[in-house]
A and B are shown apart, each in its own frame.
Chain A
């Protein structure tokens, strides 16, 4: 087991940042922490990277205890904080060389590991890091976090503020790193990225809602879910919320995801209701639950 988190709690004053968290991540697994801002993801990362001490509970990373063996962990892990934390006044190459040096290695020694990522920013290697675009900054930060060949990689919201194309590339890179046997713990507020992980933990207000594979999490969704569309989305949401039997109503892309309280729900009944309320071009279709639906459902409870 690569990461073991055992009943970790942490509070800042009266705010419970983490409340009795337990997670286990296997060797070579790509594990996602999915949750909105303020869910406690960063606090958990900082505890695992030995930057913070938990109030209760214990944890180990790569077999080392986060409190007793913190020095060993600091040598073994790669950490990419949520905020861009490289030296802006150093060039791309100087940053990378600096991190290689302080970990007692060289760029050449572990070039294989970062090649896929680094080739994309290598044309700009003499540019100051502060002058890179968001996507390139993330690639550089990942290169720096990887240059010492860590056993476990911690990525705190690596794709926040990055354009969709770069985000996609970034996740492809993570998959390749996983193939090399590196355990990756990644957090993201984007539900679509969750599907790319081996397993995910849904986390909110410092509590874990569920831990499973993305597929299983979606399958566990308890109710049939319907895409509902009409000519006026705003009015549609209003009327759906006013419907006596509604269970949940969430805008999702161009449609509204609707679930009903009753077991034997008949879509025709809803169609009639909406028609009477003056909506046109009504479209109701059974659809599959997404991770976002699950999250919303779990978060409601």
Chain B
């Protein structure tokens, strides 16, 4: 036991004396969660738009004031000619132009139809889509208000309700993803690097020629990272609760247990990587290419798995992160318990055992 603690102490010295690993351990999680929380978002806010109003009557003024009073849009300029539309887009700031036809109010009252065109800058298709949806809904809102006095023969009123994330905040979606990415990064990459560093610097040679058995060396290497990853996971959850107001509807304890399970999965992967790589650089490349990319692209973190081509959907099943994200989303947002996520938990557990088994088999008790 004393040997073990001596070893763990040494590992902590390594970690705390290396600025780079300290940054990856503690700077990265905070930076990532802040980035995803604040900067990278699908919502729109204060989008600059331009108005081309050829009627300038009561109705158009009312619509324009409705639009400018929302938080989503701010009216940057008024233009007079159709030809100017392209120009304002080219200048880059304006993302949409609202074009009211002549005699808007008159047509609306007499002919019951008046036309307004929404022109959007579709260089960013997602944003263009969102903008046009938002403006549409403001317009139909206005229409409803005008028609309140008139009874229509019949009308379909769709009422959509967004459960678990009523305001469609993207941070709800990013928190589980970021948590997964960070735990994977810290656990798998850092352990694989720290084990291969011993090989690269030749210290593995003297560790092998010592009474420490390989199992003790590995556990000693991994232990500090379990500890630090748990702190990281806790920090992410605390940040998301207090800074981004993401709810934890399920059991915090279960969330903790599942996180520990995922940390162990990642550590096992890290050990496996270290058994096949000989240099720190190689370990880092394998971790980044082999783990980070699938975690970001194939786990459902950013791109929904259901809209991927079938082969990719199948591949996504072998990405441990996919299962963890399902679990975290379930617990945090839906408030479900182990009775619902037991299947995913079992998959993760199975993967962990497989990785540990493989690393034990591949671990070398000699130099070759």
Interface residues of A (CB under 8 A from B): 46, 49-53, 70-71, 74-75, 77, 79, 81, 83-90, 94, 97-99, 101-104, 144-145
Contact = CB atoms under 8 A, between A and B. Distances in A.
A86 B210 CA distance: 14
B10 interface: yes
Q: Is the interface of B mostly helix, strand, loop or mixed?
A: helix
A81 B209 CA distance: 10
A128 to B, nearest CB: 8
B201 A88 contact: yes
A87 B14 contact: yes
B2 interface: yes
B202 A87 contact: no
B367 interface: yes
A86 B7 CA distance: 14
Contacts of B208: 50-51, 74
Contacts of B2: 101, 104
Interface string B172-211: 0000000000000000000000000000011101111111
Given A74-B209, A98-B6, 7 more contacts: A51-B208, A77-B209, A87-B10, A87-B14, A87-B203, A98-B10, A104-B2
Interface residues of B, number: 26
Contacts of B213: 71
Greatest chain B CB density within 10 A among A50, A51, A86 is at A51
Contacts of B362: none
A86 B203 contact: yes
Contacts of A144: 206
A87 B366 CA distance: 20
A84 B201 CA distance: 8
B10 A104 contact: no
A197 B207 CA distance: 28
A74 B203 contact: no
B25 to A, nearest CB: 16
B209 A102 contact: no
Greatest chain B CB density within 10 A among A49, A97, A98, A102 is at A102
A81 B211 contact: no
A74 B366 contact: no
Given A46-B367, A52-B367, A102 B201 contact: no
Interface string B318-358: 00000000000000000000000000000000000000000
Contacts of B203: 85-87
Contacts of A70: 365
Given A74-B210, A81-B202, A102 B7 contact: yes
A51 B205 contact: yes
Nearest to B367: A51
A222 to B, nearest CB: 40
B61 interface: no
Contacts of B201: 85, 87-88
Given A74-B208, A90-B13, A101-B3, A52 B202 contact: no
A79 B209 contact: yes
A80 to B, nearest CB: 8
A55 to B, nearest CB: 12
B71 interface: no
B10 A90 contact: yes
B241 interface: no
B361 interface: no
A42 to B, nearest CB: 10
Nearest to A75: B211
A82 to B, nearest CB: 9
B81 interface: no
A75 B211 CA distance: 5
A89 B211 contact: no
B145 interface: no
Nearest to B206: A85
B206 to A, nearest CB: 5
B368 interface: yes
Query: Which 7 pairs from chain A and chain B are nearest by CB?
Result: A101-B6, A85-B202, A79-B209, A51-B367, A75-B211, A89-B17, A49-B209
B210 A85 contact: no
Interface in B1-54: 2-3, 6-7, 9-10, 13-14, 17-18
13 contacts: A46-B367, A53-B366, A53-B368, A74-B211, A75-B211, A79-B206, A86-B203, A102-B7, A102-B207, A102-B210, A103-B210, A103-B211, A104-B3
A77 B209 CA distance: 8
A52 to B, nearest CB: 6
A104 B203 CA distance: 18
A86 to B, nearest CB: 7
A46 to B, nearest CB: 6
A87 B212 CA distance: 17
A86 B13 CA distance: 14
Nearest to A145: B206
A51 B13 contact: no
A89 B14 contact: yes
Contact of B18 (A46, A89, A98): A89
